[in-house]
């Protein structure tokens, strides 16, 4: 190798050019088919600073010197400017993905000349990194990786001209969307007016619009919409996309190029899909669970809570999940003034857990306490809606009183299950879990809905509920449904010494725990007593409940919602709760159980645990091949209201079908007898949960456990 000490020495320059000509990079540059060359990042050759000879020679230490090479001065200037870029060491920045804007862009106020390509630095650096020269800058931009594109995009985002161009692109797209929407609405209006004219003509002659005429107008409307979509919407949209692609290419946006192929236009899912709902993972040696939750904060997380607002924790009704709490989360009386968080129980909604025969309301209470501590939730107002949620809330207030500012119970059930309610739930759940066709599942779901909500439920509500059960609790997930039902019907009353609130109040809202003058009872008028008692889902009743709850909270002292870690470690606090539970039950063995496991809080007897374990195993058998009432894309096959009627005696409101009076009376008599035959049927004969029925669950215990609270009239809250 020839050592060159001064680049201005003619002999040194000649030797350097000889080495360059024999290099692979020079051969690629001279043989390239594209005339475009990489723009230098430095002034012309006369202003180039001297380059150390060692750096220039060492970059091509494996090449052979050719003494017969001669080049023009222009090529020499271009090559030496590139050599300067290589030798000054920018490759570390390009390789590490750091910001390279300072190498090329000095800011809009420092230069009035043309703005340089923000990716030119990366292109020139890639020669030194990979030993390959680039001849087409646009082609390189389309092949940049995500990490390589970030510096260029950061530079472009600082350019006001680029931001203005993107804003114009977005405005053009919005204008086109509004224009297409207006044109489509005009088509709807056109055919709506045609139908109104047809109706007016028919009324003038005393008839109605014939079915044939309706079909003709409907077919014509569909054809015109189809024609509008294919001849107007799709071409306009494709043209807009092509223009956007071309402008983004001209703006030198990385990875952007003009294409019409669908596979190139579709987004590339590089990152794994992230669940919309966040969750709390609970792990121990004997159990695991993922408890999902949602909030009213912008990103559905606790970090978005306003520390100035108190917090409300909502527990959903039985057989539903947190998606059915829109009437509470969306009520401005609550949403505007409070932070709200709603949890899915471990066998409901998106929550997942290991099936267990030891699952009871104490386990649900432990799950909720773990979530409180892991999320650093502040003391909160608890709103428990129906069934198992109330049992969970009562136990939370008993074992973890510092977490509860107040306790509001909506439609408190009996301390233990009534036989006739048990029998009906038994049969309905069994029929839904082992349905072999769509009609059987819909009929069982409708009977269950009628039992829970009453016989006069809204049609739309019926469709939504049955569709929800088809998606969330189909026969393939019958083990979850059986476990949920077992938790509810095998509940046991709290002991008299530990009773937080001990009265039976169906169809009512009870505000208690922390209330100065005693519990407040508010009865929702017009709601039937018994199994039909879902106050929180029916819009009218839910609004009344929300109003009473909001007025109740307004009377309580204000409490901030600071997200701070708990004072005690989680294990230590759960160990204290286990010790308290052992004192309540008189069983000292409970205090020595694993405090990191929610199942440790279970108080089910060994007989019930054994029967529920066998039940879960039985329901898990062949569940993966059970009937599914969903389509391949995970949607319901149909609406319940759209099913075909197969019974000649079926009656709908406003229909002309007639049932003989004697048959209707017989049907009513059978229905009443089946719902009131408490003493004629033994719960042990039921097909679903005969082994899971707790011997202590009997009406005779209800009379011993019901107590009367100090009730304060609620009229003062409603004024």
- pLDDT averaged per 10 residues, the chain (length 719): 52 66 66 50 42 42 44 50 46 40 42 44 42 46 80 87 91 93 91 91 89 89 92 91 90 85 63 68 94 92 94 95 93 95 96 95 97 97 92 94 92 80 83 92 90 80 92 93 92 68 53 61 51 70 90 92 94 97 94 96 94 93 90 85 59 42 44 41 41 41 36 35
Same domain membership, residue 172 and residue 148: no
Residue 292 pairs in a beta bridge with 279
What CATH number does the domain containing 501 carry?
A: 3.40.50.1820
Q: Which of 617, 621, 611, 616 is nearest to 691 (CA)?
A: 611
Three-state DSSP class for residue 379: coil
Residue 636 belongs to some domain of the structure: no
Residue 543 belongs to some domain of the structure: yes
- Integer Cα distance of 285 and 708 in angstroms: 43
Tokens 């985002």 sit at which residue?
Answer: 157
- Integer Cα distance of 36 and 356 in angstroms: 70
Copy the structure tokens of residue 153. 């995009």
Same domain membership, residue 165 and residue 155: no
C-alpha 274: how far from its chain's center? Answer: 9
- Integer Cα distance of 289 and 578 in angstroms: 19
C-alpha 461: how far from its chain's center? Answer: 22
Residue 342 belongs to some domain of the structure: yes
Residue 93 belongs to some domain of the structure: yes
Name every residue whose Cβ is closer than 8 Å to that of residue 9 and which is 6 or more positions away in sequence. none
What's residue 590's pLDDT? 96
Final residue in a domain of this structure, among 265, 289, 307: 265
Residue 412 pairs in a beta bridge with 505
Q: Are 322 and 295 in contact (CB under 8 A)?
A: no
Same domain membership, residue 121 and residue 240: no
Final residue in a domain of this structure, among 111, 128, 160: 160
Copy the structure tokens of residue 107. 């800011």
Name every residue whose Cβ is closer than 8 Å to that of residue 429 and which is 6 or more positions away in sequence. 448, 481, 482, 485, 688, 689
Which helix (DSSP H) or strand (DSSP E) does residue 407 occupy? strand 404-412
* Helix, strand and coil in the chain, % to nearest 5: 50, 10, 40
Which helix (DSSP H) or strand (DSSP E) does residue 26 occupy? helix 24-31
Tokens 């089910």 sit at which residue?
Answer: 604
Copy the structure tokens of residue 410. 């909506």
- CB-based burial label for 203 (10 Å; 0-12, 13-18, 19+): exposed
List helix spans (H) across 336-403. Answer: 361-374, 387-399
Which helix (DSSP H) or strand (DSSP E) does residue 282 occupy? strand 279-283
Which structural domain range is residue 109 located in? 10-160
Which helix (DSSP H) or strand (DSSP E) does residue 613 occupy? helix 606-620
> Please, what is the end-to-end C-alpha distance for the chain in angstroms?
99
Final residue in a domain of this structure, among 619, 635, 665: 619
Three-state DSSP class for residue 33: coil
Residue 453 belongs to some domain of the structure: no
**Tally of domains in the chain:** 3
Same domain membership, residue 169 and residue 154: no
Same domain membership, residue 292 and residue 248: no
For residue 484, what are the CA distances in angstroms to 388, 429, 434, 535?
9, 10, 16, 20
- CB-based burial label for 641 (10 Å; 0-12, 13-18, 19+): exposed
Neighbours of 119 (CB within 10 A): 26
Same domain membership, residue 131 and residue 183: no
- Integer Cα distance of 618 and 194 in angstroms: 60
Q: Are 532 and 453 in contact (CB under 8 A)?
A: yes
Residue 433 belongs to some domain of the structure: no
Tokens 């003709």 sit at which residue?
Answer: 216
- Integer Cα distance of 490 and 418 in angstroms: 11
Residue 72 belongs to some domain of the structure: yes
Q: Are 691 and 479 in contact (CB under 8 A)?
A: no
Name every residue whose Cβ is closer than 8 Å to that of residue 575 and which is 6 or more positions away in sequence. 591, 595
Q: Are 361 and 395 in contact (CB under 8 A)?
A: yes
- Concatenating the DSSP letter of every residue in 624-681 gives GGS---B-TTS-BSS-GGGSPP--TT---TT------HHHHHHHHHHHHHHHH-TTTS
> Within 13 A of 504's CA, how many CA atoms are on the CB side?
17
Neighbours of 209 (CB within 10 A): 15
Same domain membership, residue 179 and residue 155: no
Report the chain's C-alpha Rg in angstroms. 37
C-alpha 340: how far from its chain's center? Answer: 16
Q: Which of 358, 382, 360 is nearest to 371 (CA)?
A: 382
- Integer Cα distance of 228 and 237 in angstroms: 13
What's residue 537's pLDDT? 85
C-alpha 232: how far from its chain's center? Answer: 35
Q: Are 521 and 510 in contact (CB under 8 A)?
A: yes
Same domain membership, residue 608 and residue 529: yes
Same domain membership, residue 179 and residue 70: no
Residue 40 belongs to some domain of the structure: yes
Same domain membership, residue 108 and residue 201: no
Same domain membership, residue 229 and residue 140: no
Neighbours of 408 (CB within 10 A): 25
Same domain membership, residue 169 and residue 134: no
Copy the structure tokens of residue 117. 């390509």
């Amino acid at each position: 190798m020839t050592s060159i000490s001064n680049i201005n020495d003619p002999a040194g320059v000649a030797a350097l050019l000889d080495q360059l000509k024999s290099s692979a990079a020079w051969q690629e540059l001279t043989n390239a088919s594209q005339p475009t060359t990489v723009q230098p990042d430095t002034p012309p050759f006369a202003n180039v600073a001297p380059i150390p000879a060692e750096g220039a020679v060492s970059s091509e230490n494996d090449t052979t010197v050719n003494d017969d090479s001669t080049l023009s001065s222009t090529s020499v200037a271009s090559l030496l400017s590139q050599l300067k870029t290589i030798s000054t060491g920018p490759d570390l920045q390009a390789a590490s993905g750091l910001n390279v804007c300072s190498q090329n862009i000095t800011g809009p106020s420092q230069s009035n000349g043309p703005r340089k390509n923000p990716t030119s630095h990366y292109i020139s650096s890639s020669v030194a990194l990979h030993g390959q020269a680039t001849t087409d800058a646009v082609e390189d931009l389309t092949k940049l990786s995500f990490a390589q594109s970030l510096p260029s995009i950061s530079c472009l985002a600082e350019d006001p001209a680029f931001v203005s161009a993107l804003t114009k692109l977005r405005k053009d797209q919005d204008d086109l969307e509004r224009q297409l929407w207006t044109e489509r609405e005009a088509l709807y209006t056109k055919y709506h007016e045609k139908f109104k004219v047809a109706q007016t003509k028919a009324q003038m002659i005393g008839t109605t619009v014939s079915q044939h005429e309706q079909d003709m107008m409907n077919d014509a409307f569909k054809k015109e919409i189809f024609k509008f979509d294919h001849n107007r919407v799709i071409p306009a949209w494709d043209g807009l996309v092509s223009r956007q692609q071309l402008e983004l290419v001209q703006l030198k946006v990385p990875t952007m190029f003009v294409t019409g192929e669908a596979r190139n236009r579709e987004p590339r899912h590089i990152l794994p899909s992230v669940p919309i709902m966040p969750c709390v993972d609970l792990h121990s040696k004997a159990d695991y669970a993922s408890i999902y939750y949602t909030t009213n904060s912008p990103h559905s997380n606790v970090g978005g809570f306003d520390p100035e607002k108190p917090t409300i924790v909502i527990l959903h009704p039985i057989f539903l999940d947190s998606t059915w709490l829109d009437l509470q989360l969306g009520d401005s009386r609550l949403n505007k003034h409070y932070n709200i968080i709603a949890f899915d129980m471990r066998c409901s909604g998106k929550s997942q857990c290991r099936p267990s025969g030891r699952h009871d309301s104490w386990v649900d209470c432990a799950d909720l306490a773990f979530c409180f501590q892991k999320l650093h939730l502040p003391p909160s107002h608890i709103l428990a809606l129906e069934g198992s949620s109330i049992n969970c809330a009562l136990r939370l207030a008993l074992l973890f009183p510092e977490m509860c500012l107040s306790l509001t119970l909506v439609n408190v059930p009996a301390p233990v299950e009534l036989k006739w309610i048990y029998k009906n739930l038994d049969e309905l759940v069994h029929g839904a879990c082992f349905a072999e066709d769509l009609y059987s599942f819909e009929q069982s779901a409708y009977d269950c809905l009628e039992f829970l909500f009453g016989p006069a439920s809204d049609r739309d509500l019926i469709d939504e509920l049955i569709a929800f059960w088809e998606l969330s609790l189909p026969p393939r997930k019958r083990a979850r449904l059986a476990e949920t039902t077992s938790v509810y019907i095998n509940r046991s009353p709290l002991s008299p010494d530990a009773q937080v609130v001990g009265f039976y109040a169906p169809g009512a809202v009870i505000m208690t725990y922390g209330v100065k003058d005693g519990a407040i009872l508010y009865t929702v008028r017009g709601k039937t007593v018994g199994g039909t008692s879902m106050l929180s889902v029916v819009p009218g009743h839910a609004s009344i409940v929300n109003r009473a709850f909001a007025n109740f909270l307004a009377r309580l002292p204000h409490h901030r919602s600071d997200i701070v870690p708990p004072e005690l470690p989680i294990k230590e606090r759960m160990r204290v709760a286990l010790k308290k539970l052992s004192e309540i039950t008189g069983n000292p063995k409970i205090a020595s159980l694993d405090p990191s496991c929610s199942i440790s809080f279970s108080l089910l007897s060994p007989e019930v645990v054994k029967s529920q374990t066998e039940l879960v195993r039985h329901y898990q058998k062949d569940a993966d091949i059970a009937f599914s009432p969903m389509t391949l894309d995970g949607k319901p096959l149909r609406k319940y209201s759209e099913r075909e009627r197969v019974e000649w005696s079926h009656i709908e409101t406003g229909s002309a079908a007639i049932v003989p009076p004697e048959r209707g009376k017989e049907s009513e008599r059978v229905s009443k007898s089946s719902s009131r035959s408490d003493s004629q049927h033994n719960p042990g004969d039921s097909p679903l949960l005969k082994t899971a029925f707790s011997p202590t669950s009997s009406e005779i215990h209800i009379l011993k456990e019901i107590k009367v609270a100090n009730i304060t009239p609620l009229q003062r809250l409603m004024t």
